[in-house]
Structure 1
């Protein structure tokens, strides 16, 4: 799997307070009197953050005040002498913390996409405080008893379907969080949660520093033979003589495909592989402590391991079901990868190489194999994929054809960085849909990967329309040069906007059920499904326009792209399975496990699942820089990319047999899935739309494994 995206999780997710703007929700008098712009509602369209006023030193005060206000509200709910009702308990919970959530949405956006020393210091201070506040909510016995009372008589409350789902979600969240523990065990859990929050923040900070420190400086241009002149211009280092190659937060690095000198490729690969191992930015001790603490947390909550606890509200439900998915894919994936390795080894020999294929050779010689087998050169197609044209005439155009969505550029909305683009989106009838921000270029202040999140969440409760952003890490061209994308990067653009559509189409009363507030192994389905339109003939011909001539991409190149679609899929699937397996292995250890050596643990984890049989295929993420699971919300959940890949191929198969890209089909998907948020059991939602359970065959076919 080549995607590195996610739906960004905040440092702490308060399911009780997902609203990020607060129309019709009064804040305290102190908030209104403060000069801190974060403490008052924005007056910009859609409640978008006013980055002309927001400064780094505003966040500490605003976050602390937001926490204080939430604590005060929670205590009032819990200590009320009135009998519990939906309005004074569940709805009050849902409305609590709106100031904090509004501030936290902006804070999380900046700490992910444009951080600095000041924000990192605030982040470090706040991490345990966020954890403590969550515990103050979900481990509050008086509050839980009120929720439990309502849950036990839910059938007699005469609630509408969404309100009933909200009540059920709160009850389940309390139980999962540990509300049934003894007071002594709750105190133990609080110490675990606080320490884990601190460790996760430390991991993210260390990894960002490691990525920046790991950038390689080359002063001899000949070492970079194979890189185009335009790419060299973008890598030109302003401070020192030479060219600086930044590290992406994946094992393989994009430039390895082009670089001709093996010594250069090896140097870059090893810089990426060892960036957080044995250096001043070593994360091994951090990740082992996180894994061990999570195992203890799982046991304290009554489960065999952390994964069992974490998977309760997912589609997979149990680790055994995840492993069943793995076991069904590993033999075919590794067999295909070995075939590919054999082909690449022959290419190495054909080109006069006298060495055994290594990980840093794979992409370089695989590209030669692709050129020979499919006569397709990445440099042939990149001129047809200019970033802004792909976005507007491809991604947005597909949304118009499927869902009737149109757009308008907004240059009057302030952003947090000069590279960020803003668009206003509209329904087919002209009604406002929301604001979309696109932040596409890499920079030292941005963490690796690609993701989507909200500045403002949709909610009928507060009459909020969504304000959503996508973040990517494409190389920024030098001024005057076009931003040309690889086809993988084109797919990423479609992918992330699939997440955005999930958020834009949300149609919920309650913010904590809105949009992408669904399980890990469902949230990637809309995004992966949206990738399918990148190669759809009607869409492709509209956006694949040569940046110089404006001519459509020739059918000959389109055919080559499609024919090469199953190329290198053994490698792609195996590297993903390796990372997914590592995630599950780290999170199925027992509570008394002591991990002495993180690298040895990783090696054994790959060996016992036979994911090391093709030595030239490393995991997509090594444990020491696996940000999804140690610094974000994908712990015991990275498998979700494969799980939802099954769903998205199955869903596209339905489209293909029902007329393809039509407004009718798009509206049906929107009405039955994309607009439903977390208001129905996810497997029921999918089955109702599909007319049956998903099957894995379309995925295997798409991967060329069947």
Structure 2
């Protein structure tokens, strides 16, 4: 699809005169120090990166070549102070390439990714710098707890980057890092191209059959944004395609839409990601071997809460068995519905959501279109803010006169109850073709105190279908949960209370980082929160009590399906990265099929993320061999919310204070096991997780 974004200053300015480069300014005088988006054009980034990289190289060389005895201050703290301008340029650039990109930015992204990777390798493979860090004596300097943690994390980073390798191996590790950056960028851009190019026109009433008013309106708005050639279109935005698969009574159109959704990244041609995946998997395996690990999965999990791929796989297996049993029961119920309606076909993956919605109506008298009028985007935003206020004493004041990279972006100044500043929160909620799919949290600036009392600028990015002009955007309950999830991440960034940038906010173990986000989802499901904030967008009346009860009673509905589609993706991720299949020319589709066959994947359910569009694990290393972390963190969040239940108050001040101190505000000050134990008094079990998902009986 093609879409113009006429109110996106950065995109409009791309073809105009560049003017003075804002990145040459030492300090931005904008409100809250936001990037001056209206003055930034793509041609500014090349010179800005060149200058910032040179500055950082000079700073690092001075630290490595310092003739004084290595100390924490002149070596580790000096490294923490270095590269501030590079951080500013990179955070601005990569937030734009994710949220509001264009061909000019994409071209720069393809060029700068490998350069940044080579720059990072040069630092972490610098023998003189590693020698200085190795010589810092924490005991002799009587370092504090936070300083010792920073020193330990730097040493871990250097070792995992290859600092102890011989010169030839170091050079190969650097080559791999550069190539991986190039491949990850290509993967992401291919995926965005596939998502942006697909539209399915809905011509006439026959094509619209079964679609409720909210979905018809969203499809009409999507068509208008794409030039108005069709009255209604379905795109690959999750907030359009998922409800279409739920409500459309046109089985042929559901199949076509589902095929496009599940085959992103494998359509052949320039945007096909299969060969990219094969090379990424091979390079990761090679790097792991160079570093002394049996596989990339062993390398990745060595520095996590799980500690090993075996521990992660044990958890996935523990969940898989009861989930598969539950999914089998769900499948049989849905097939019975098909037959009861006179359908002479076996249930397929593109049918599941449609018949699951019918079963939900039958079992719980619950219709998604009945819920959405009570979940306006504005109401859910306010619910997330109010929850944070009641838990942590935060206040949110919307501010209008701030720079924005798109007119849809909103901004709120965040303060503590005493009025002291916390940071700035940005919300970018609507889908557009210049934005990659999904939902995420990021930072334009992270909290720290090393170079001053730096307050964070945190952004949440969503892809909700925008309502027609003048109408409020209404969310499904899943959409509302996504908003709460990402706001939990945002709070992790906003409430950070550390001195050193290395430890700030979400810079924690990959299987701990989802705890603050998934825990926050629990408050959305509490009657106390829904009674206050789930109000009809026209009348302002609260959600009727009987509807609220039906909604909450259905929380574990279809959880066999939901658990299977997630866990299958996590198992494929881990299996790929435990193998060396990529080295012999990986056929990722065949590998995926064989792996799913071995775990007896139900034929009627597809993975949530198939490999060719699995951006979590192939756009970068962040979640590679780490997609299990959502379920690992869910063990934590289910147990953590029980702490509030045990206190007898879901907003218990004492429990919330511990949560803020040891989880949301603590960054990476502690090992995650220590952090969780400090909050909860013990480590968790899987019991609360199985209960939360409604799988406890199936596990018995």
1:549 aligns with 2:534: no
Note the C-alpha offset of 1:365: 0.4
Note the C-alpha offset of 1:367: 0.2
Note the C-alpha offset of 1:278: 3.3
CA deviations over 1:541-594 (Å, ceiling 9, x no partner): 121010000000011011111110110000000000011011111211138841
Per mean C-alpha deviation after superposition, the further-off stretch among 195-204 and 229-238 is 229-238
CA contact (8 A) 1:299 1:591 kept: no
Equivalent in the alignment of 1:80: 66
Taking CA–CA contacts closer than 8 Å with sequence separation of 6 or more, which of the two structures ends up with the larger relative contact order? 1
Equivalent in the alignment of 2:4: none
1:674 aligns with 2:653: no
SS at match of 2:677: helix
1:624 aligns with 2:615: no
Equivalent in the alignment of 1:451: 440
1:171 aligns with 2:161: no
Note the C-alpha offset of 1:252: 7.3
Equivalent in the alignment of 1:216: 200
1:253 aligns with 2:224: no
The correspondence for 1:362, drawn from 340, 345, 352, is: 352
Equivalent in the alignment of 2:15: none
Query: 2: distance between equivalents of 1:459 and 1:560?
Result: 45
SS at match of 2:150: helix
CA deviations over 1:16-43 (Å, ceiling 9, x no partner): xxxxxxxxxxxxxxxxxx9311232221
Equivalent in the alignment of 1:204: 188
CA contact (8 A) 1:650 1:699 kept: yes
Note the C-alpha offset of 1:352: 1.8
Query: 2: distance between equivalents of 1:250 and 1:156?
Result: 57
Equivalent in the alignment of 2:314: 324
CA deviations over 1:649-703 (Å, ceiling 9, x no partner): 0001111011222233212210122111101111011012111111110110011
* 5+ long unaligned stretches in structure 2: 1-18
Note the C-alpha offset of 1:251: 13
Query: 1: distance between equivalents of 2:51 and 2:599?
Result: 49
Query: 2: distance between equivalents of 1:287 and 1:520?
Result: 21
Note the C-alpha offset of 1:297: 0.8
1:155 aligns with 2:116: no
Please give the residue correspondences for 1:630-649 in structure 2 after superposition, counting only pairs within 5 Å. 630-632=618-620, 633-649=622-638
* 5+ long unaligned stretches in structure 1: 1-33
CA deviations over 1:445-503 (Å, ceiling 9, x no partner): 00011000111110111210111000011101110121000001111111111011111
CA deviations over 1:300-334 (Å, ceiling 9, x no partner): 11111111111122101111111111111111111
Note the C-alpha offset of 1:374: 0.4
Please give the residue correspondences for 1:496-575 in structure 2 after superposition, counting only pairs within 5 Å. 496-575=486-565
Equivalent in the alignment of 1:396: 385
Query: 2: distance between equivalents of 1:60 and 1:228?
Result: 48
Query: 2: distance between equivalents of 1:346 and 1:467?
Result: 52
Query: 2: distance between equivalents of 1:38 and 1:701?
Result: 52
Note the C-alpha offset of 1:279: 2.6
CA contact (8 A) 1:94 1:512 kept: yes
CA contact (8 A) 1:457 1:511 kept: yes
Instruction: Compute the TM-score of the two structures, normalised by the length of structure 1.
Output: 0.93
Note the C-alpha offset of 1:537: 2.1
The correspondence for 1:98, drawn from 84, 102, 107, is: 84
Query: 2: distance between equivalents of 1:538 and 1:50?
Result: 41
Please give the residue correspondences for 1:151-550 in structure 2 after superposition, counting only pairs within 5 Å. 153-236=137-220, 237-238=223-224, 239=227, 240-248=229-237, 253-280=242-269, 281-392=271-382, 394-461=383-450, 462-550=452-540
The correspondence for 1:56, drawn from 42, 45, 67, is: 42
SS at match of 1:566: coil
The correspondence for 1:111, drawn from 93, 97, 103, is: 97
CA contact (8 A) 2:279 2:582 kept: no
CA deviations over 1:266-289 (Å, ceiling 9, x no partner): 010111122321332211011111
Instruction: Compute the TM-score of the two structures, normalised by the length of structure 2.
Output: 0.93
Query: 1: distance between equivalents of 2:243 and 2:110?
Result: 32
Count of residues paired in the alignment: 668
SS at match of 1:657: helix
CA contact (8 A) 1:522 1:644 kept: yes
Equivalent in the alignment of 1:23: none
The correspondence for 1:698, drawn from 685, 688, 697, is: 688
1:145 aligns with 2:131: yes
SS at match of 1:453: strand
Equivalent in the alignment of 2:13: none
Query: 2: distance between equivalents of 1:519 and 1:166?
Result: 14
CA contact (8 A) 2:659 2:679 kept: yes
The correspondence for 2:675, drawn from 660, 685, 691, is: 685
CA contact (8 A) 2:438 2:462 kept: yes
Note the C-alpha offset of 1:77: 1.0
Shift in CA distance, 591/97, structure 1 to aligned 2, threshold 3 Å? farther
SS at match of 1:520: coil
SS at match of 2:647: coil
Query: 1: distance between equivalents of 2:239 and 2:198?
Result: 13
The correspondence for 1:44, drawn from 24, 30, 54, is: 30
CA contact (8 A) 2:497 2:665 kept: yes
Equivalent in the alignment of 2:10: none
Note the C-alpha offset of 1:249: 6.4
CA contact (8 A) 1:251 1:620 kept: no
Query: 1: distance between equivalents of 2:349 and 2:301?
Result: 33
1:651 aligns with 2:640: yes
SS at match of 1:155: coil
CA deviations over 1:238-282 (Å, ceiling 9, x no partner): 321342211136997332001111001001011112232133221
CA contact (8 A) 2:281 2:580 kept: no
CA contact (8 A) 1:251 1:621 kept: no
SS at match of 1:156: coil
Equivalent in the alignment of 1:35: 20
SS at match of 1:144: helix
Shift in CA distance, 279/224, structure 1 to aligned 2, threshold 3 Å? farther
Query: 2: distance between equivalents of 1:137 and 1:550?
Result: 57
Query: 1: distance between equivalents of 2:522 and 2:453?
Result: 33
SS at match of 2:233: strand
Query: 2: distance between equivalents of 1:220 and 1:381?
Result: 27
CA contact (8 A) 2:215 2:244 kept: no
CA contact (8 A) 2:446 2:501 kept: yes
Query: 2: distance between equivalents of 1:45 and 1:664?
Result: 35
